[in-house]
Amino acid sequence: MLTRFLGLIGKEAECAAKLREAQGALDARCDRQVWELGEDEIKGLVVDDKWMPALSGAVQNELDRVSQALTGRIREVAERYATSLPKLEEEVDVLRRKVFAHLGMMGL
């Protein structure tokens, strides 16, 4: 098992070296390709493939945030005005009578 393990470690090192070599070759090829791109292709890559998705995502996040804030505010207003003014006035009258009754019992 130990010799097999050592063999696998050696293969891992070989694979890592091959990976580094392949990555270097890919980077070099990409560097050469960049110089062959035209201005329109570069603009397309930068604007269409990079900036627009990022900008679209940021706008969507902001819309979601504003939408949630408005929904919360609407709920708050709906809760505040759920009880009608006549109902509130009726409750105030009932409570006012109770207060005056208690004050009367206290001799005021």
CA pair distance 34, 29, nearest whole angstrom: 9
Given CA atoms 50, 51, 53, 54 in this order, what sign does their dihedral have?
positive
Record the tokens describing residue 93, joined without a space: 């009258």
CA pair distance 87, 94, nearest whole angstrom: 11
pLDDT digits (tens, 9 = 90+) for 7-27: 899 899 999 999 999 999 999
pLDDT digits (tens, 9 = 90+) for 65-108: 999 999 999 999 998 888 888 999 999 999 999 999 999 999 87
CA pair distance 105, 73, nearest whole angstrom: 44
pLDDT at 37: 86
pLDDT at 108: 79
pLDDT at 28: 93
pLDDT digits (tens, 9 = 90+) for 33-52: 888 888 888 888 888 888 99
pTM, 2 dp:
0.47
